[in-house]
Amino acid sequence: MKIIAIDPGYERLGIAILEKGTGKETLLFSECFVTKTTEKHENRLKLIGEELEKVIKKYQPEALGIETLFFKTNAKTAMKVSEARGVMLYEAAKNGLWVLEFTPLQIKVAVTGYGKSDKDQVTAMVKRLIKIEKPLKYDDEYDAIAVGLTFFACYRTR
């Protein structure tokens, strides 16, 4: 089974394609897609949709694993990320992908075994759980890979 996993964002979007056969999960692709702050809001959303469409068409995943949103303070940022997340869910539906959503707590438990893990602990475990061929510049890619690993951990139990 091949999936696309997303760490949703507006300025930076973590995207990973993972595949699971009879053995261990394999990372086929990952990137941190960045939109420029100088672009108009609606253009940034369009660029996110176009990038996802391109990745989905190239890798042909069956499903989408995506993190739910959790914001404590900044409502302006939360709205923009929510709108970007809507674009992501639209692209999944348009391409016939079924969707599993995970909370940050679920992802931390699935990857590290501890729900209060910090970003460094999640990143360290992702590096142990799956082979990554290239250096990753942003945490967003590690987070997307963690979402994918969570997908397969939960999918196994269904």
Active site residues: 7, 67, 140
Q: How far apart are CA 74 and CA 93, in angstroms?
A: 28
4 Cα distance to chain centroid: 7
Cα Rg of the chain (Å, integer): 15
Query: What is the rounded CA–CA span in Å between residue 47 and residue 154?
Result: 30
Chain mean position to CA 7 = 3
Cα separation, 130 vs 148, whole angstroms? 11
Cβ–Cβ under 8 Å, residues 13 and 7: yes
Q: What is the pairing mode between strands 25-34 and 12-20?
A: antiparallel
Q: How far apart are CA 9 and CA 34, in angstroms?
A: 9
